[in-house]
Structure 1
């Protein structure tokens, strides 16, 4: 694909890295020559220095030949205008815009071209703050989880959990786990990471303390499975403290205050006063999130969950580690600098999340050719989970009518389950694939995604590979 990315910030850079590896023709536009030079030094891409909503700059970037425009600058207005220009000048097929302002997001009719042909011509609207908020809510709904991803409109979920000493299935082989779960609790372990190395989850693999276990299950069964992997009795997070009253922190507090006891801390007096007027039950505190005396005064030892969501990675790390030391059961911190992540997850912060990685994952399936309806990066890009629809017939497809055990799959994948209409069928060798099945799979080598796409595509439609 020929893809133009506007903006060489963290989101634009993450996308460029991902797309360049997969042999797309990528061009990045940015005003900062230094950022562009850094990208060009390590990636096989084109760069153009200039303003992202300048028609001449867009033409210089090759807009006429582009299959996709991703407007990911820090300025909403620039992103929106660039998409409008792309439609007017060359009718670019797919236009994706990053939009952060709540004023735009509160008026979806501005972007709904199905209802209004005069609406702003954006195919996909991305709000990083909303994506992060929803991501955190999923982690709150499943205490102890490291990552939660929905597939097939929520019929099945992929959950990552760390195995703890004392968990009933720790020390058990995967094929023995079923007998330790209640009747009717079905699942499929699709990957295990052990000290940053992938362990292929065959029946003879034994779960060890510290393993990061990825499993697929239907939502109502997930708490039962998680409980077996943990040594402690998991309970919902009733008392929650949020560090940072920006868009993410405020919107989370608004969502959580109805059913949780919420405190939110922000250092800015104006911001603290503004959000206190808009929140109904949450307590708003003006202060420094890394002030030990303040945290103790606010009974930090009674807090079940501490969310570090300021605009500063360093403040989030320090406040998160301090909160854990002062007795908080669980800490989730927003950390975009990937060089910090491995270090801090070994030092008391339970989950480090990246807005850039979450945003990249939200966009990933739009980059995939064929009928990939969802793709999500896992472990900061080291692996990928995909949902692909099977099209064709037994005559045109290499997989329809065959059992999972008969198909020559790429070496790095594990088939998790098939969603057939409203039924979830967990993978086994004798399960036959049918047309229109939704196949959920785990890919521990994302570079093999193109092989998956080709395998799922009917023969008559492969001319574009």
Structure 2
């Protein structure tokens, strides 16, 4: 695809890095010449220095033949103006990053009137991810498929788990029929498991199933399935505002620590049901006074990575049962943080870039095949693809046990006219079904590509 990216901040560079690596034709527009030079030197892209909202600049970037324009500058208004000009000049798909909460209530109107393909708010996207984790405290990650009908959930197996040291074929039927274990991450390796695969303590498994089945699976394992009832949030920024609003609507007790007095007053007016404390959330005495030793969840959302990490480590030491969520901006901390065992890590920059890249992958893949959506998991080592099955597909009507699949491929879920099926060997695929395929292979364009030649 021919793609124009306006704005080369952290998100813009992450998007550019991913999409150029995947072979797309990228042109970036940025006002700072040193930033453009750096991007052009590091990635296989074209670079232009200037204002992305300029029609002549857009023409120089090739807007008339572009497939997509992505505006991720620091200015919401500039991003929306870029999208408007791109839509008029090139009639391409447009994506805008819009952060100001004022626009939230009007975003559907803005999207429709400007013909935007997608609007992304980084703080709200991070809050949504945190909310999913607090609704499912045993999980390390929660994603949705089939427009929310299916859930992808990751969890780590401990030594006391009913799954530990068991081959997949030996897992009790009441567990197996609920969800499909689609991938296993062990150290630096990722596996698409077959029936002989033996799960070990420390493995992070990825399961896919209907929401109610996932709940049942966790319950059978003896893991918490109910949402948390209380949380302490340190940091009163926009992510905290969005997250607190979601949690309060679920009946969860929310306490927010914020240093800035004026921001505390603002939050008190916006979130009257929350307890807003004007104080330093890193003050151990204050945390103890507000019940950090008994709170069910703790979310570190300050603007300092080191502060968030240290806070989560401290809370883990005094309240090991609490669900921990830590916001981190620097992705290169990943390997270090992973060894600390401080619960779920959210990377706002990556969440925003991933949503945009996910959209691009889906559009790009659908041009060449019948892929409805494409996701990359486990540090890009695994693909989950959602296919729509056409009437002439060779996979129709064959029991899965008799289907000759390529190695490294697993059929994870079937959506048959709204009925979500966790497939077994007897399951069959029908015309117009949506099917999720998980694979370590790349380049699948059609569901027929899962079959051996």
Normalising by structure 1, we get a TM-score of 0.88
Deviates more, 1:171-180 or 1:377-386: 377-386
Partner of 1:153: 147
Q: Distance in 2 between matches of 1:70 and 1:414?
A: 33
Query: Paired residue for 1:375?
Result: 374
1:302 aligns with 2:301: no
Q: Residue 179 in 1 paired to residue 173 in 2? A: yes
Instruction: For residue 329 of structure 2, give the secondary structure of its aligned residue in structure 1.
Output: coil
Which of 130, 138, 147 is the matching residue for 1:136?
130
CA distance in 2, matches of 1:428, 1:14: 39
Structure 2 unmatched runs, 5+? none
CA distance in 1, matches of 2:45, 2:209: 39
Evaluate the alpha carbon distance shift between residue 199 and residue 90 of structure 1 in structure 2; reply closer, same or farther with a 3 A threshold: closer
Supply the RMSD in Å over aligned alpha carbons: 2.4
* SS of residue in 2 equivalent to 1:441: strand
1:107-149 per-position Cα deviation (integer Å, ceiling 9, x unaligned): 1353253xxxxx2232211122222222222111112101111
- The Cα of 1:209 is off from its aligned counterpart by 0.6
1:39-188 → structure 2 map (5 Å cutoff):
39-92=39-92, 94-113=93-112, 119-179=113-173, 181=175, 185-188=177-180
- 1:347 lines up with 2:340 in the alignment: yes
Indicate if the aligned counterparts of 1:290 and 1:322 stay in contact, CA closer than 8 A: no
Structure 1 residue 29: Cα displacement: 1.7
Query: How much has 1:162 moved relative to structure 2?
Result: 0.6
CA distance in 1, matches of 2:447, 2:43: 28
Shift of 1:9: 1.9
Does 2:307 correspond to 1:315?
yes
Could you tell me how far apart the structure 2 residues matched to 1:289 and 1:409 are? 53
* Contact persistence 1:336–1:356 (CA under 8 A): yes
Residue 208 of structure 2: aligned partner: 216
RCO comparison, higher one (Cα < 8 Å, 6+): 2
Distance in 1 (alpha carbons) for counterparts of 2:403 and 2:3: 33
Contact 1:95 1:124 in 2 (8 A): yes
Correspondence for 1:204: 196
TM-score (norm 2): 0.90
| 1:344-397 deviations in Å (ceiling 9; x for gaps) | 132131111112222233231343331433333323444332322223x32xx4
1:207 Cα shift? 1.1
Separation of aligned partners in 2, 1:120 and 1:161: 40
CA gap 1:39/1:331 in 2 versus in 1, 3 angstroms: same
Kept after mapping to 2: 8 A contact 1:357/1:377: no
Instruction: Quote how far apart the aligned CAs of 1:189 are.
Output: 0.7
| C-alpha contact (below 8 Å) 1:361/1:375 kept by paired residues | no
State the match for 1:21 in structure 2.
Answer: 21
> Counterpart in 2 of 1:462?
none
